Amino acid sequence: MNASAAARTALLSSPYKRSNKANGEINNVNVIGNKNIRVHGNGGFYNVFNGGVYHGKASFMNWTLDDVVYVARYHRIPCVFAAGLLFFMYVEYTLRMVPDSSPPFDLGFVVSRSFHRALASWPELNTSLAALNTVFVGMQTVYILSTWLIEGRPRATISALFMFTCRGILGYSTQLPLPQEFVGSGVDFPVGNVSFFLFFSGHVAGSVIASLDMRRMQRWEMAWLFDTLNVLQAVRLLGTRGHYTIDLAVGVGAGILFDSLAGKYEKAKRKSELVSGTVEEALFKVKRRNGMTKSCTMGRQ
């Protein structure tokens, strides 16, 4: 491996050879890294693992100034996150906490203050947007169910079941107070001014699940449409004070997480069925072989 190829493949951690099995070696044997590779592919020596125990110098002890410069140039996103860590550590440790006598501070509420005043003073607009949002929730539901009932692909449905079950557990476990400036509507989902969990937003998570499935099926236009409507939905929910900002942000993460978990579930089930089918086929062959052996024995007699 030359230096340029190593530079493309090396990340922040030390590079290693392929696994013992790939190298035709047995387990519990030292694996020695390439002597010509450091953090950015120039020089270095690494003892890796022996029986799960690390041996040799710590990785950072082999770093040079060139390595640091390389990381800053070619790994900018982790560097930005590192700067963000330091910044928010300062903010967290110097911030005055909200007293228990005050309502929660929400930056999304501050940004959407003018929109909130418009919705509060114009009930017709609030009702119209609530109705449109309910239609969008119906679109999510129809799409997710149709992928299973019509197309025979249950992943999105499984993901939604995982998500709403977890949302119910978390929403009941920590019941956040309804924002004081909440602007409700009888046509908003859930229809009828019923109670609902604030954490986290099922509206947003359901839309993300549907959008991810559309992308898997290369339905790009539908996916972009759902993403756009999801952003507008989030703005409306902030304007009505129907959700805190954290509810919406976690809703996005929950949609991605439970879609991934549903994919892992499907993969595990397919692997299990494959193993089960292989075992059954092997047993069938053994029984068939035994049957043929008995037939030959009886024929000789």
Query: Which residues are tagged catalytic?
Result: 203, 243, 247
Tell me, letter by letter, the H, E, C secondary structure of the chain. CCHHHHHHHCCCCCCCCCCCCCCCCCCCCCCECCCCCCCCCCCCCCECEECCEECCCCHHHHCCHHHHHHHHHHCHHHHHHHHHHHHHHHHHHHCCCCCCCCCCCCHHHHHCHHHHHHHHHCHHHHHHHHHHHHHHHHHHHHHHHHHHHCCCCCHHHHHHHHHHHHHHHHHHHCCCCCCCCCCCCCCCCCCCCCCCCCCCCHHHHHHHHHHHHHHHCCCHHHHHHHHHHHHHHHHHHHHCCCCCHHHHHHHHHHHHHHHHHHHHHHHHHHHHHHHHHHHHHHHHHHHHHHHHHHHHHHHHC
Largest separation between any pair of C-alpha atoms in the chain: 100
Which residues, 6+ apart, have CB-to-CB distance to 209 below 8 Å?
Answer: 140, 144, 156, 159, 160, 163, 255, 258, 259
Q: What's phi and psi for 37, nearest 5 deg?
A: -125, 125
